[in-house]
Amino acid sequence: MTVAATHLRILATSDLHMHLAGFDYGADRPDPSVGLTRIASLIASARDEAAQIGALVLLLDNGDGMQGTPLDARAAAPGAGAHPLMRAFGQLGYDAIGLGNHDFDFGLEALDRALTVAPCPVLCANLRPEGAERPAALLPRTILERRTPGGAALRIGLFSVLPPQTGIWNRPLLEGRVGFDDMVTSAARESGALRQAGCDLVIALAHTGPEPEQAPAAPFAENALRAVATLPGVDVAVGGHSHEARSWDGPGAPTVIPGFAGSHLGVIDLALERKATGRWTTASANATLRPVARRDAGGQVQPLAAEDPALVRLIAPAHEETRAALRTPMGRSAQGLHSYFSFFAPDRSLALVAAAQAAALRPHLAGTGAEALPLLSATAPGKTGGRGGPTHYTDVPAGPLQLRHLSDLYPFPNTLAGVVLTGAQIRDWLEQVAGQFNRIAPGGREMPLTDPLLPGHGFDVLHGLSYAVDPAAAPLYAPDGTPLPGGGGRIRDLAWNGATVGADQRFAVALNSYRAAGGGGFAALRGARPIPLPPLAIGDALRRYLSGAMPRDPLEAAPPPWRLAPVPGAEAVARTGPGARAHLDDLAGRGIEDMGLDSDGFLRLRLRLG
Q: What is the pLDDT of residue 1?
A: 46
Residue 589 CB neighbours (<10 A):
5
Average pLDDT of the segment spanning 6-15: 97
174 and 301 together in one domain? yes
Residue 2 has pLDDT above 60, yes or no: no
**% of the chain exceeding 90 in pLDDT:** 86
Instruction: Report the alpha-carbon distance of residue 62 to residue 209 in Å, rounded.
Output: 12
Looking at the domain assignment, is residue 305 inside a domain? yes
Instruction: Report the alpha-carbon distance of residue 457 to residue 449 in Å, rounded.
Output: 16
CA dist list (Å): 473 to 134, 487, 488:
49, 8, 7
Could you read off the pLDDT of 258-306 as tens digits, one per residue? Answer: 999 999 999 999 999 988 887 899 999 999 999 999 988 777 899 999 9
Q: What is the pLDDT of residue 223?
A: 95
Domain span including residue 251: 2-319
311 and 403 together in one domain? no
- Residue 59: its H or E element: strand 56-61
Looking at the domain assignment, is residue 334 inside a domain? yes
CATH number at residue 528: 3.90.780.10
Looking at the domain assignment, is residue 598 inside a domain? no
pLDDT: is 98 or 599 the higher one? Answer: 98
Looking at the domain assignment, is residue 314 inside a domain? yes
Q: Which of 319, 339, 355 is the last residue of a domain?
A: 319
Nearest one of 231, 288, 300 to 259, comparing CA atoms: 288
Instruction: Report the alpha-carbon distance of residue 36 to residue 194 in Å, rounded.
Output: 31
Q: Name the β-bridge partners of 496.
A: 499
Q: What is the pLDDT of residue 107?
A: 94
260 and 385 together in one domain? no
Using an 8 Å Cβ cutoff, are 220 and 233 in contact? no
Phi/psi of residue 189, nearest 5 degrees: -65, -45
Residue 479 has pLDDT above 80, yes or no: no
Q: In this structure, are strands 245-248 and 293-295 parallel, antiparallel, or unpaired?
A: unpaired
Q: Name the β-bridge partners of 506.
A: 422
Could you read off the pLDDT of 356-414 as tens digits, one per residue? Answer: 999 999 999 999 999 999 999 999 999 999 888 899 999 999 999 999 999 899 999 99
CATH number at residue 101: 3.60.21.10
- Residue 89: its H or E element: helix 84-92
Could you read off the pLDDT of 513-569 as tens digits, one per residue? Answer: 999 998 888 999 998 999 999 999 999 999 999 999 999 999 998 999 999 999 999
309 and 334 together in one domain? no
Backbone conformation region of residue 191, classed left if phi is above 0, alpha if psi is from -120 to 50, else beta: alpha
Could you read off the pLDDT of 456-470 as tens digits, one per residue? Answer: 899 999 999 999 999
433 and 309 together in one domain? no
Specify the 3-state DSSP secondary structure of 445. Answer: coil
Q: Which of 288, 319, 350 is the last residue of a domain?
A: 319
Q: What rounded mean pLDDT belongs to the chain?
A: 94
69 and 20 together in one domain? yes
Confidence grade of residue 4 (pLDDT, cut at 50, 70, 90): low
Looking at the domain assignment, is residue 573 inside a domain? no
Specify the 3-state DSSP secondary structure of 120. Answer: coil
Q: Name the β-bridge partners of 144.
A: 156
417 and 500 together in one domain? yes
- Length, in residues, of the chain: 610
Using an 8 Å Cβ cutoff, are 91 and 310 in contact? yes
Nearest one of 263, 234, 264, 261 to 250, comparing CA atoms: 234
Looking at the domain assignment, is residue 575 inside a domain? no
Looking at the domain assignment, is residue 571 inside a domain? no
SS3 for 291-358 is: ECEEECCCCCEEECCCCCHHHHHHHHHHHHHHHHHHCCEEEEECCCEECCCCCCCCCHHHHHHHHHHH
Q: Which of 566, 585, 600 is the last residue of a domain?
A: 566
366 and 463 together in one domain? yes
365 and 306 together in one domain? no
Q: What is the pLDDT of residue 127?
A: 97
pLDDT: is 349 or 446 the higher one? Answer: 349
301 and 373 together in one domain? no
Count of structural domains, the chain? 2
296 and 361 together in one domain? no
Looking at the domain assignment, is residue 277 inside a domain? yes
337 and 415 together in one domain? yes
Could you read off the pLDDT of 91-145 as tens digits, one per residue? Answer: 999 999 999 999 999 999 999 999 999 999 999 999 999 987 788 789 999 999 9
Using an 8 Å Cβ cutoff, are 561 and 461 in contact? yes
The alpha carbon torsion through 473, 476, 482, 486 (nearest 10 deg) reads 80
Nearest one of 219, 249, 265, 307 to 38, comparing CA atoms: 307
